[in-house]
Structure 1
Amino acid sequence: MEKSQLRQVIIDQQESFRKVEELVYRDIDLERYLRGNEIVIISGIRRCGKSSLLKLIAGQLEGVKFYVDFDDIRLSDFEVKNFQDLQDLIIEFYREELDKSGTGQVYYFFDEIQNVPLWERWLNNLYKEGKKVFATGSNSQLLSSEISTFLTGRNKVLKLFPFSFRELLRLKGIEITGEKIESGMLTSSRKAEIFSYFLEYFEKGGFPLVLISGDLELSRGYFEDILNKDVLVRYNIKEVRALKDLVLFLLSNVGRAYSYPTLRKITGIKSLSTIKNYLDYFQNVFLLYQLPRFDYSLKKQKVSSSKIYTIDNSFLKTVAFNFSENKGQRLENLVFVELLRREKELYYHSEKKECDFVLREGMRIKEAIQVSVDLNSPETRKREIEGLIEAMTTYKLDSGLILTFEEDDILDAGGKKIILKPVWKWLLE
């Protein structure tokens, strides 16, 4: 790429990065990532707010802030030699500021860094020079593999998700604490307002621009971009139709157990290893996640059927193929994503009965959670409670949690405590 072309792109991007915007602060301890000289890698699905987070970080730093968006199509011809051109442009653009400060402090902000060749070696060089770098990427496998090879001990990884429910409320101008909810200090009108926003979150998910614009159809475009650019092109997929059938089936059946032979039969993909690879690709780009069945035997756990969930509820409305509302599946998916956001080690329980989520800490299962829209049906109530009790008994737990749309109660089940709690309250804890 010619330096003159690169110069114009960088000029345009600096102006865009400095543009003043009203940004929603994320529930992240940024101070942890601002300290030290380590490279900060921000990873997450496309359109979850990584670029905005870079701006939020830049707003807390004093010095020269140099931004490059490598997802810009004008940089598709970027070559290794252009790294030095970027260094030259920093001096060209910011000589006066650097001379004035006398410290030469430059902060680097790079979007979608995985799009350029040998990026990890360049970041390593900047680290050795004492430069502070913040970089985003939309491919977990690429980042993790390259980090482990070249950046071990020199980086911090920040996993970013679409908006949480609390962040959605902040977008709407509402700051709320779990303590305030638990103490019963909310008025009826404020509860109704919060619940209405929960319904919006339940339907539209957490992609920032979807929530800001109210346009749920943006989610379909995000899905197409992720599938085409991050999966089909990057992994050079030949069986395009089969892969699309697979992802559509999985999105339409979130929360349900599957096996590789079942997926082979449904999609017509003959190779089980190919199916496994496709599932890995979906997880690498943060689109789908696999939830394993818990077993104390790792061998049995590996051959058990897994469940699939997606990173955002919007895909269940715009992409998945369903004959009914499937509120139960969508509520379960919402809970899964929140548990992922809270960095829990997750499994599902299945023996004679089933429990949606069991949370492991160290060598023990410490929590069991069922998810149900409501417990109005005697059949549903029996199934959910019995599944939870089996998990509580198996893992020697004194209490369990059932998350519902609106029910709020505590049950005594043979000496074991079962807490019923509305999901919207739990999301704000």
Structure 2
Amino acid sequence: MPLGFLKSVRQRASKPAPSGDNESSGEQRPVLPGRTTVLSDVEELGIGMFWATDSEGRLTFLSQRALDDLGIAGEDLIGQPLVRAFGDVEPEPGAPQQRALGFKLKAHSKIEEHVVAITTPKGRGGEPGIRWWRLNGRPLVDGAGTFLGYRGSAVDITSQYAHEMQVARHSQVDELTGLTNRRKLGEQLTATLAAFRNSQRSCALMMIDLDRFKHVNDTMGHPAGDALLRQVAERLTSIVKNSGEVGRLGGDEFQVLLPDMDDRGTLGELANRIVQSLSQPYQINGRRAIIGTSVGIAIAPYDGVNAEELTRAADMALYAAKEARGGTFCFFTTELSDAASKSAKLGERLRDAVDQGDLTLAYQPLVDPASNEVKCFEALLRWHDEDEGHISPADFIPVAENDDLIVRIGEMALRQACSDAIQWP
């Protein structure tokens, strides 16, 4: 069986056509190429290649251009199952998914734009290489409806596919650390929770924030900070291993997704190992850097049933851990949710109070104990709310410090204190 189109076909096609009426009138009829010649030209121009199988899915034909492209002898491929000669690819994260080639062949389905990988004898460096083809094919049946096999075409897309995979990978991976990035983490969390919801499976989420990382950037420079983040990523990966997915959200924030894990003892032990490991000194350009870390933990479905709820719960737990001076971990609780809701409402009322000028100053004299004389006055901020009554600065100052309100309140207090002091005798 020939494995390529015969060159003699072209030679026969180029012979002059028989004489006819046009010759008698002095005109020469143009020579039209035959079907086989056109297909041969398509191959030689690199537009496409051709293949065929029998009813058992074994490769029975592969055109010469395809064999030349692969650098493989025909006898090494002809007779092999198509799924062995053309392997399904493992797409990079973010790349389009496709059904297995074997499934399509078994179902006698159309094969459309199906990407396959073929191992070639030699690649760069003399080692086996990989070529990527895009296959199209149709099942062939006879007049009685009996399946005879496949007839199809192929296009080499190696350069294009490698570029697409690189783009897909970069869209899902953090360039600095090589970890999964924020976008992919969100997609994975959403997909995991949706899949687990019906089967009533659990999933834990850890939010990790580095303590004193800004100090490293300020004192050692941003390149040192980048080097530290890469080391943090390595330590996290070595601790979590195959138990979950480690990713970087951005800056000094990391996230760990832990499917099928809801035991607080196990999670607490893992979080403690993360805190202890990330708090060990780092060697960067001959200098030592020391940071800490805080971890917030939330568990689905108890703390949230979708990505937004679970992430918000883990964030609140992380905030609680940092409020405890960092270097620890904290689980989400309903008390944290209640406190966060109360803090948010207090922040809204505080903003209105600042806008309406409801904050006032009270002055406390500071007396010299030796002379019993008043030396100066201390200005104390006071807030009396119409509904809540007197609100302690211990409650509203931390809320203001987490917002730009603290700057406005400071400016207001300074202006009012100076204005009042001018009027004193």
**TM-score, with length taken from structure 2:** 0.31
Larger strand fraction of residues? 2
Structure-1-length-normalised TM-score:
0.30
Larger radius of gyration: 2
Higher helix share: 1
Structure number with greater CO (CA < 8 Å, separation at least 6) is 1
